[in-house]
Amino acid sequence: MDGGTKVFHLRAEPVRTEFVPGRVVDAWGFNGSVPGPTIEVTEGDRVRIILENRLPEMFAPHWHGLEVPVAMDGTPGISQPPIRPGESFTYEFTLTQNGTFFYHSHMAMQEMMGMIGFFVIHPRVAYQPLVDHDFGVVLQEWMIHPNNTVPNTLSMEYNWLTMNGKSAPATTPIVVKQGDRVRIRMINMGMDHHPIHLHGMQFVVTGTEAGRADGPFRMRENTVLVGVAQARDIEFVATNPGDWMLHCHLPHHMMNQMASMVGPMMVDPSQPSAKVAGFPQDMWMPMDGQAGSKPELYGLPPSWTGAMMGMMTLVRVVTPETYAEIERLRVAAGKEAL
Ligand SMILES: [Cu+2]
C-alpha cells in the first residue's frame, strides 16, 4: 500500500518452466511465473502497477476489459510508446468494475510466449449466492517441436495445452466437498477457442470478460466455449460425488506432444488388432509417477493418468473425511488450507 493505493510490481521476463516433469519450456511471463501472477483487488480500489520490461525487446501490457483512461490502456504506439528493454512504465487507475479480467502483452507474438495473468476484481458486496470456492484457470496453447524448448509462435497448430501453466496429468485437481457451491473462472488469450466440458454435473455461466452477468442464471450447460480474448465464470453446486474431468473437448487439446512427424500408424503383424486400419488410436499413457505426489491427488486410483493429457484436470467432489485429509496433507506440505 502507498497511502490508499494498492501497488503492484510486474516484471515482464523470460521464464523457464515445465509443463509436465521433464518437459522444459522457455516461455515468457511475469515475475518468474507463466502465466503471470494473479492480481486480486476490489471494485473502487486505486491501483498502481509498476511494469518493468526485462525482455530483450519492447513490450506493453494491456488491461483487458478495464475501463481506464486511454493513457493507461497499454496499446504500444497508440496510447503510449512501447516500453523499451530495461525500462519501466507506471500505470495507475481507479477500478470502477467488478469481474474476471486479465492482463496480457499487447504484442501479438508475445502473447503466444505465455504473457497473460488474471486481474480479478471482486465486488464490494459479494455476489449471491455465495460460493464456497473461487478458482481461476488460465487456458493456453503452445507449439513446441520435439527436442526444442522454445515455443514456435508462428504455428497455426498446437501440441501442448496448459491449464495454469501445466499439462495433464501435472495439473492440480480442483478439490471440493460434496454440497459446496463452486466458481471456476477461465480466461483464454491464444490462437484457439476451448470448449471446456465438466463431467457429472451441470453449471451456469455467471460472468464474461465484461464482468458479472445479470442473474437469475437459467441456462444450464456442461460445456462452455471460452473463446480467444474471452473470460467465462461458471458456477455449480457440487452435488455428485466422484472425480470428474474438466477439460477442453477439442480432441487434439487432450494430448501431449503431438507431432505429425511420427509417420504412419504402426503396424505390428504379431498383434491381431493391428490389422484394423487406423490402429492404434487410444493414446493411453499412464504417467502416475510423473504426476507427482501432490495432496490433491490423494486417493486417486492406479493408472488414473492414462487418459489425462493436455488441457485437462479433475474436479474432485469428495467426502468431508477425504477433504479433511487432503487439507491436512496440504498444510503438512506448507501450502494454504483449502
Ligand atoms: Cu482447447
Give per-residue pLDDT as tens, 151-175.
999 999 999 999 999 999 999 999 9
Q: How far is the CA of 80 from the centre of ligand 1 (A)?
A: 33
Q: How far is the CA of 309 from the centre of ligand 1 (A)?
A: 12
Model-level pTM? 0.95
Q: How far is the CA of 308 from the centre of ligand 1 (A)?
A: 14
Q: How far is the CA of 130 from the centre of ligand 1 (A)?
A: 29
Q: How far is the CA of 253 from the centre of ligand 1 (A)?
A: 5
pLDDT of the residue at 278: 72
- What is the band of 84 on the pLDDT scale with cuts at 50, 70, 90? very high
Q: How far is the CA of 119 from the centre of ligand 1 (A)?
A: 22
pLDDT of the residue at 182: 98
Q: What is the pLDDT of residues 216-229, one digit of tens each?
A: 898 999 999 999 99
- What is the band of 282 on the pLDDT scale with cuts at 50, 70, 90? confident
Q: How far is the CA of 274 from the centre of ligand 1 (A)?
A: 30
Q: How far is the CA of 191 from the centre of ligand 1 (A)?
A: 10
Q: How far is the CA of 311 from the centre of ligand 1 (A)?
A: 7
Residue 81 has pLDDT above 90, yes or no: yes
Q: What is the pLDDT of residues 293-324, one digit of tens each?
A: 899 999 999 999 999 999 999 999 999 999 99
Q: How far is the CA of 248 from the centre of ligand 1 (A)?
A: 5
pLDDT of the residue at 291: 86
Q: How far is the CA of 247 from the centre of ligand 1 (A)?
A: 8
pLDDT of the residue at 288: 93
Ligand 1 (ion): residues with CB under 5 Å are 194, 248, 250, 253
Q: Distance between the two ends of the chain, CA-based, in angstroms?
A: 27
Q: Are strands 39-42 and 116-122 parallel, antiparallel or unpaired?
A: parallel
